[in-house]
Amino acid sequence: MGEFVPSNVHWEKQNVSGFDPDNNKVMLENGDHLNYEYLIVALGITPDYQRVPGLLEALETAPNVCTNYDAKYVSKTFPAIQNTKKGTALFTHPDTPVKCAGAPQKIMYLAEDQIRKSGLRNDVDVAFAHPGPAIFGVKKYAEQLAKVVAEKDIKTYFHHALKELDYKNNLAVFHNIKEPDSPVKVSIPYEMIHVSPPFKPPSPIASNPKMAAAQSGYLDVNTQTLQHNKYENIFGLGDNINIVSTKTAAAAAAQTGIVQKNLQSVMDKKKPSVFYDGYTSCPLVTGANKGILAEFDGNGEPLQTFPSFFGQHKEKKIWYYLKAHVMPTLYWYGMVKGPWTGPKALRKMFTLGMGR
């Protein structure tokens, strides 16, 4: 990261421990504090392993339990897939906000592809448990993903929220939440399991009622201007804000442009005048060389960059290569360094070029 921090920016290598917005102070873990005139809060989102009893212990000790959501445990994933010769390879989606709503199933498709290539697909069942009613929250993409799941013979458990991991007996315990007032307890045996853990807002925000939204614990911002609802000199972006859009890097990129312009307005003693439409994107890898490029707005309606004849909702190699080879460069040299603030300008260019 140090290579990308501008030379005229001071990097304080400390975690944030709290906020004192009435006095324009940020507290640090070493006991120091920083004063500010304007503040942008982008603390991300925190895995909540304790919410699922047995999960953390399993990640520490069981070779067949893994997650890609933590640098400490991600290296367990591929060996767990390779060592699965029979039984069920189970993949889960949490019943909380999550980093990239497509990520819990991307690893499933890659694992299914690997198991098939190993000649073991007839001996291994692949299954996906999701607390929602469908494979994806946007209908246009959900319909296509349902076809992918059917073609790959992946078993789905909808309305299933992981509540406990009995890792000593290889049992994942779910609540079937189709009837939320009386959820049914369901135990699913597995040979291996990839858990996308529940998440929670960062504690420095959630523990501060002046900073957090009362209901969610996430940073309390205006969902259009991204300005804090109580403090005009505070803005938020990324996973830590109280917004319904899916939490992705694509959303953070688009939000960066909004914050940049609205912060400048506030510094110029003007009102914020640029509004976030909730844009986000989930490039869904559906196999070793295929993908779907899901893009949508805050209302869950498709908001695609490319003209419709490109077929972003269809499985194509181009979307896989865009995800695997273009987006990493775009992230490091575009988003992190500042020039890339989402595809809005690109989308406008295509629209003008098509005469619309």
Spell out the domains of the chain, with CATH numbers in brackets.
15-45+201-267 (3.50.50.60), 47-200 (3.50.50.60), 280-353 (no CATH)
Residues 237 and 219 sit within 8 Å (Cβ to Cβ): no
Of 43, 47, 77, 72, nearest in space to 60 by CA = 72
Q: What's the burial of 71, exposed, middle or buried (CB within 10 Å: 0-12/13-18/19+)? A: exposed
DSSP H or E segment with residue 285: strand 280-285
> Which of 242, 239, 195 lies closest to 222 in space, CA to CA?
242
Instruction: Report H helices in the chain.
Output: 55-61, 77-82, 103-117, 139-151, 203-206, 249-267, 317-321, 327-329, 344-353
**Residue 270 is encoded by which pair of tokens?**
């003007």
Active site residues: 100, 282
Give how far Cα 114 sits from Cα of 44, 318, 324, Å: 31, 20, 17
Tokens standing for 26?
A: 């940020």
Look at residue 353 in the predicted model and tell me its pLDDT: 60
- In 3D space, the residue among 109, 97, 194 whose CA is nearest the CA of residue 144 turns out to be 109
pLDDT of residue 244: 80
pLDDT tens sequence across 222-272: 999 999 999 999 999 999 999 987 899 999 999 999 999 999 999 999 999
Q: What is the DSSP letter of 341?
A: -
- What distance in Å separates the CA atoms of residue 87 and residue 97, rounded to the nearest whole number? 30
- Residue 179 CB partners (closer than 8 Å, separation 6+): none
**What's 241's DSSP letter?**
B
Which of the 8 DSSP states describes residue 339? S
In whole angstroms, give the CA distance from residue 209 to residue 237: 18
Q: Which residue stretches of the chain have pLDDT < 70?
A: 351-356
Q: What is the pLDDT of residue 345?
A: 87
Read off the amino acid at residue 23. Answer: N
